[in-house]
Amino acid sequence: MASFKLAAAALLSLGATSALSWQTRTSFITSTPRQIQKSAIQTASLYQNPHAPQKRSSLSMVVTDPTAPVIGKGGMFTASNAENRRVVPEDARGRPTMKIVYVVLESQYQSSMTAAAKRINAGSDNMAVECVGYLLEELRNEDAFEQFKKDVSEANIFIGSLIFVQELAEKVTEVVQPLRDQLDAVLIFPSMPEVMRLNKVGSFTMKNLGQSKSVVADFMKKKKQEDGSSFEEGMLKLLRTLPKVLKFLPSDKAADARTFMMSFQYWLGGSPQNLESLLLMVGQDYVAPIKESMKGKEKVAVEEPVLLPDKAIWHPVAPDIVFETNEKYFEWYNKEFCPDAGIDPATAPTVGIILQKSHINTKDDTHYVSLIAELESRGARVVPIYSGGLDFSGPVEDYFYNSMGKPIVDTVINLTGFALVGGPASQDHKKAAAVLKKLNVPYMCAVPLVFQSFEEWQASELGLHPIQVALQVSLPEIDGAIEPIIYAGREGATGRSVPLADRVNLLADRAMKWANLRTKKSADKKIAITIFSFPPDKGNVGTAAYLDVFDSIKAVLKQLKAEGYDVGDAPDSKEAIMEAVLNDPEARISSPELNVAYRMSTNEYYELTPYAKDLEENWGPAPGNLNSDGQNLVIYGKQFGNVFIGVQPSFGYEGDPMRLLFAKSASPHHGFAAYYTYLEKVFQADAVLHFGTHGSLEFMPGKQVGMSGTCYPDRLINSLPSAYLYAANNPSEATIAKRRSYSATVSYLTPPAENAGLYKGLKELKELISSYQGLRENEGRGPAIINSIVSTAWTCNLDKDIDDLPDLETYDAKNDTLERRDEIAGKVYSQIMQIESRLLPCGLHTVGVPPTAEEAIATLVNIAQLDRPEDKIEGIPRVIAASVGRDINDVYRGNNNGVLADVELNEKITMASRAAVRALVNQSTDANGRVKEVKNFFDEVGGIFGSLIGAKKPWTQSIIDAGFPNVSEERLSPVFAYLEFCLKQVVANNELPGIMELLNGQFLMPAPGGDPIRNPDVLPTGRNMHALDPSAIPTTAAVEVAEDVVRKLLEKLADDNDGAYPESIAFTLWGTDNIKTYGESLAQVLALVGVRPVADSLGRVNKVELIPLEELGRPRIDVVVSCSGVFRDLFINQMNLMDRGIKMAAEADEPLDQNFVRKHALEQAEELGVSLREAACRVFSNSAGSYSANVGLAIENGGWEDETQLQDQFLTRKGFAFNADKPGMMEQQADLFKSALKKVDVTFQNLDSSEISITDVSHYYDSDPTKVVQGLRDDKKKPMSLMADTTTANAQVRTLAETVRLDARTKLLNPKFYEGMLSTGYEGVREIQKRLRNTMGWSATAGEVDNFVFEDANDVFINDPEMQQRLLNTNPNAFRDMVTTFLEANGRGYWETSEENIERLQELYAEVEDRIEGV
């Protein structure tokens, strides 16, 4: 066979049908369009099943905090039954009976197969048919799998199609392979290669097909060479030329090959008639009892299939079956259909719709008819197209443009749910994005339920099946698709697709709103800019990660005005905009000082908000006390012309200890609901622009993916198109916003990371070490300098980081050896270099302002340090080190161990790298210090001339001048060519254009999110950010890095514990971190347990294998994995992978001293009275639709009594177990969670990016279980707490305390950081206070913050009168919060300080309060 790169959508989007099957539409076609629309709506409503049992919503929060699972059948996603697909002849009448077993991915073949079998049983004289079908997902169920085995063992024919899920492909192969010889025929249509090899039709097998002398193989190889066809595309081309090919085959081979090809053709046809012909043909030619009974009889002549065109326009009421040109289609549609339907072709918006051909073939099209009817009833025209192949780009280009090449559609909805080019197994995302950008209209990809009936989906807290999320949500997002709205379900008994009426309505409404953005005049459009305030009530209006919000709003208003939008009298300064929205930048949300834009009466609220009554269970009747004046609900913000700048309300329960403790999050409060009601129905916004990372909308309760009409993000955003500015380094939460709040994201740049530098005593230390390096052998000066180094190191609190720093009172370097003095200098030097080289983003980003040349250099230096073996690029440090005969990894190792020579060399290499990058950037820098146009060195005449005369390139010369004369210019060439490309990306500016493209109803190009240093493809920003294909992680490179980190981790732990390994490690996994690193921390978990991820034949990572203990060379370490809610949403398949791997280790029959997973699982099974597999559950997270432990919320808002409350919150909210044996649910397992945690010796997290460190956000301490474990352990011993730092090429494992100190020294206490923040004004004070508050969070959850951190911070921000006044004047609320944090840290016992300091803080608090209250 030419290729085994099979695509899973082959049979979903290909097909043929017979003319007979179309004649059943005759009565339908004669109906009027109005009747059609009414009929479709009625049909849709029939499927809503009002008698289905209504479970109480799992979204609702009540005082008793319900956490009972809502999905039955043992937690499986799919609970349908193959018995619904079993056909047994009522009366065989002496005919031989042929038994057929089929396995399919989707259920649309069910009705056709059932009908085909019944037709044969009723009408054939030669055979009877027993037939049973299984949906692939049903094979996960043990009972169903046992029945499947039995059925196949009794079968004559086995048929399989689209078997593309690895673990289920293995199950099918396990059953069919041993029985293959006894089966009369095995027909496998595009599936995994190992399943395809089961094919058997007489002498025809897939092995034969692949032989070099095969005419068929030659044909397919030729087609692949000609046009890159995959296997199934080659087969389709072969079908079309079948008669020509078969005449070249030997007659005995031709019959079997022809049977297989004809079988495939009939299968693609999908209608009962086609499948009847397939069964008759195979039965009479290959099933022994039938062949025997037909001896002497004439074979039944089976009908040839009649094919529909490969691509066409289809409409359910058209007089012709399909239209092969859009001219013919519009001739009928515009002139006949539209007038009857009341649609004006000249002014109506036009919606392009992409369909699956197999649904048209099998007449399983009610869901298509329903959406078409809804769009047309709203006055839209539709152009529904399908393709006979996996590439829909051809039909898009053929049918969505007029004869002049102008687009005729205003919005496109892909109803297949698959990627535009190649379906789910072999996509071409670049081609898809290029085709969609050329069309340049909004592109929505709606999702039909495949593996679940709609009752199962409605009942599921998780929502859409994980396999479908991977294939039909993640992959289309990479094309640039938005809005994965579930619009159709599967009816359990018949398997037919049914429209979900409320979802179809929503999809139609949203498509029309996007089309409206394209057609409405800019001056008439209303835009709602939504800003956030978090934590609320503390001078935090306009919060967003690393974004100068009000300066950015100024830029957006200016751009809107330039493009003709009505912005009224909007101010043109940041301060004036702030003043207008806040009335006073010091405003509190609870005070009238915040500008009130609208007061909504409770009557109006209840009238306009259909779900308002549902909120009363949590919040009582409206208006309540949040965003309320006591009588009305209050909308805060300010309107300028047609632009409204509004403040999104907060969650509402931040300061309520009881609500924070609930396992599931509460519904939005009335004020939150009123805000979005106002935007949509009072202000009547055409679009909302959510401004920065991030608000609360996307984290409201509801399903993980695949929202229903009762999910709060869906209810709140309703029909409003949403554009969402999201930080480029946060693709995971941006993806949540895309999926849960239907937002098209626009990425923005985070401030370029710069070296932290040194200050005060740290700077003095570096100068002393520099002096020592020149005088180290001078017996008079050398020891004196070392004594000063030791003294200053103690002053800077470096004794905490250097274990054997000599005692200040007793040490005299005169009495020490030169080697020991070098060792001291080396260790101190290593510490201060870690601080100096630490990367920190400086200041805040303003939308639309690209980096300066200096900022670009900082980013490129960090890009240049990494090796990129997949692109054959060596990092600059590696090339430089090689020029002096060293391996850079050895240099890093020596540097980390404080070897003075290696610390010096590492510093020298770092400076040389920076100089070389500066030389590259300088050639493109203008007089204003900006890079407008990147000049290619070889484009310059001087560069060409220089190369001719042997002159070195500027960057090479810079490295030579830095002291590395032997550096290889040839080895440097790949990295500098790459850096030149990266420089173009870094300075490109697409943020404002990206926002405007969405607001103007255009297609925004997709781009990955993540760390721009690891993955410069993240740049330029201003594009529609997506995550990655979840089945692609962990990558091979990530596994290699993970194994290195695990080795360092275990070495450190063994060294600290007399060579003993820890038995259990508590892990925290984050969504964004795993996207940025392609699954490094996920791979660390697997490596500790001693299992390795294995890619299947399509390159997808969906299985694991146990590493033998002999190869592992150490015990298997037990793990307790706490996944963030975002990780759970994005990577539930990887949770499945971890759970299977851990259970594999638990079930391995190995010595307990070599397998701590098994040791602990056996103990827990006995303790809890459960099975070993249940006891081995180690992967935990929040309940579906809930996020975080709420520890961060409590600490940020002061809403906590003591640490016990925080620990209870963690255990209650994070104690939901994922179980691969019950993949359809997150099950509360508090006892198992506690039992696993009490055995933990070490807690562990990863830091993967310089942009977000452990005090930048509350997430890290929110999920830290250090003190939780201490409280649970029998000995009450606090576990060791470690962090892996992979932010640079020199990956390290540090203690948490070391990491907190490093973070404090480089950020909170660093003038470069806090002065950079203060330069942005109001927002900057808030950023400084946030880091102080987060530092205290680590005291609360881990107790790993040194006293000097608070003491030094107090000296910097409080004891300095000038600094104190700057903070007070710039943002009094944030400064008050800072004073409160210091007092709270002291009151809770985290900071010991003088009475004088406390009294000063108390006086200052009263002074700030008076200032804010205007006293």
b/e string for 990-1006 if b means 16 or more Cβ within 10 A?
bbbebbbbbbbbbbbbb
pLDDT at 1097: 67
DSSP state of 974: H
Q: 274 in the Ramachandran plot: left (φ > 0), alpha (ψ -120 to 50) or beta?
A: alpha
Higher pLDDT, 63 or 239: 239
Angle of CA points 65, 68, 69, to nearest 5°: 135
Nearest to 265 by CA among 18, 20, 2, 16: 16
CA pair distance 1283, 1247, nearest whole angstrom: 7
Consecutive H or E run containing 1259: helix 1259-1262
pLDDT at 45: 36
* pLDDT beyond 50 at 1394: yes
Residue 49 — very low, low, confident or very high, per pLDDT cuts 50/70/90?
very low
Residue 77 — very low, low, confident or very high, per pLDDT cuts 50/70/90?
low
Q: pTM of the entire structure?
A: 0.84
CB 282 within 8 A of CB 157: yes
Backbone φ, ψ for residue 687 (5° rounding):
-160, 155
* pLDDT beyond 60 at 706: yes
Which residues, other chains included, contact 789 with Cβ-Cβ below 8 Å and sequence gap of 6+?
765, 768, 769, 772, 824, 825, 828
* pLDDT beyond 70 at 1185: yes
CA pair distance 1374, 1412, nearest whole angstrom: 11
What is the DSSP code string of 827-887? HHHHHHHHHHH-EEE-S-B-TT-PPPHHHHHHHHHHHHTS-BGGGTB--HHHHHHHHTT--
pLDDT at 1198: 78
CA pair distance 1009, 1022, nearest whole angstrom: 11
Residue 14 — very low, low, confident or very high, per pLDDT cuts 50/70/90?
very low
CA pair distance 1405, 1100, nearest whole angstrom: 58
Backbone φ, ψ for residue 1150 (5° rounding):
-135, 160
Between helix 549-562 and helix 574-582 the angle, nearest 10°, is: 100
Segment 1275-1291 shows an average pLDDT of: 87
Most confidently predicted of 76-80, 203-207, 298-302, 1396-1400: 1396-1400
Least confident residue range of 594-598, 1179-1183, 1298-1302: 594-598
pLDDT tens for residues 1325-1360?
988 999 999 999 999 999 999 999 999 999 999 999
pLDDT at 213: 44
CA pair distance 178, 376, nearest whole angstrom: 54
* pLDDT beyond 90 at 175: yes
pLDDT at 78: 63
pLDDT tens for residues 234-279?
555 555 555 555 555 556 667 888 888 889 889 888 888 999 999 9
The sign of the torsion formed by the CA atoms of 1036, 1039, 1043, 1048 equals positive
Nearest to 578 by CA among 1318, 1315, 1322: 1322
Least confident residue range of 308-317, 465-474, 523-532, 1208-1217: 465-474
CA pair distance 1332, 1384, nearest whole angstrom: 11
pLDDT at 43: 31
Segment 418-438 shows an average pLDDT of: 88
pLDDT tens for residues 1165-1183?
999 999 999 999 999 998 8
CB 1230 within 8 A of CB 1215: yes
CA pair distance 496, 493, nearest whole angstrom: 8
Segment 853-873 shows an average pLDDT of: 88
Higher pLDDT, 79 or 1030: 1030
CA pair distance 1411, 1392, nearest whole angstrom: 28
CA pair distance 1333, 1313, nearest whole angstrom: 16
Least confident residue range of 359-363, 709-713, 1232-1236, 1294-1298: 359-363
pLDDT at 600: 97
CB 1367 within 8 A of CB 1357: yes
Structure tokens at 556: 């957006």
pLDDT at 432: 96
Residue 966 — very low, low, confident or very high, per pLDDT cuts 50/70/90?
very high
CB 1283 within 8 A of CB 873: no
SS (H, E, C) 230-246: CHHHHHHHHHHCHHHHH
Radius of gyration from C-alpha coordinates of the chain: 34
- 644: β partners: 528, 639
Residue 11 — very low, low, confident or very high, per pLDDT cuts 50/70/90?
very low
pLDDT at 1105: 93
pLDDT at 40: 36
CA pair distance 1151, 713, nearest whole angstrom: 50
Segment 826-843 shows an average pLDDT of: 86
Structure tokens at 338: 């539209």
Structure tokens at 50: 């009002």
Higher pLDDT, 1382 or 1048: 1382
Centroid of chain to Cα 252: 53
Residue 224 — very low, low, confident or very high, per pLDDT cuts 50/70/90?
very low
Structure tokens at 1107: 């590493």
Residue 64 — very low, low, confident or very high, per pLDDT cuts 50/70/90?
very low
Residue 1275 — very low, low, confident or very high, per pLDDT cuts 50/70/90?
very high
**How crowded is residue 815: how many other Cβ atoms within 10 Å of its Cβ?**
8
pLDDT tens for residues 1080-1131?
999 999 999 999 998 876 677 888 999 999 999 999 999 999 999 888 888 8
Structure tokens at 275: 């499948």
**How crowded is residue 397: how many other Cβ atoms within 10 Å of its Cβ?**
13
pLDDT at 948: 54
Nearest to 1127 by CA among 1303, 1245, 1275: 1245
CA pair distance 1296, 1337, nearest whole angstrom: 13
- Counting every residue written for the chain, the total comes to 1415
Q: What is the mean pLDDT of the chain?
A: 85
Q: What share of the chain is helix, strand, coil (3-state, %, to 5)?
A: 50, 15, 35
Least confident residue range of 9-13, 655-659, 1245-1249: 9-13
pLDDT at 38: 38
- Looking at the chain, the whole-number percentage of residues with pLDDT higher than 90 is 56
Q: 805 in the Ramachandran plot: left (φ > 0), alpha (ψ -120 to 50) or beta?
A: beta
Centroid of chain to Cα 546: 21
Residue 593 — very low, low, confident or very high, per pLDDT cuts 50/70/90?
low
- Looking at the chain, the whole-number percentage of residues with pLDDT higher than 70 is 87
CA pair distance 48, 43, nearest whole angstrom: 9
* pLDDT beyond 50 at 34: no
pLDDT at 972: 95
Nearest to 1077 by CA among 1247, 1225, 1297: 1247
Number of H helices, E strands in the chain: 63, 33
pLDDT at 939: 52
What is the DSSP code string of 752-809? PEEE----HHHHHHHHHHHHHHHHTT-TTHHHHHHHHHHHHHHHTTGGGT-TTPPPTT
Nearest to 745 by CA among 765, 730, 723: 723
Residue 589 — very low, low, confident or very high, per pLDDT cuts 50/70/90?
very low
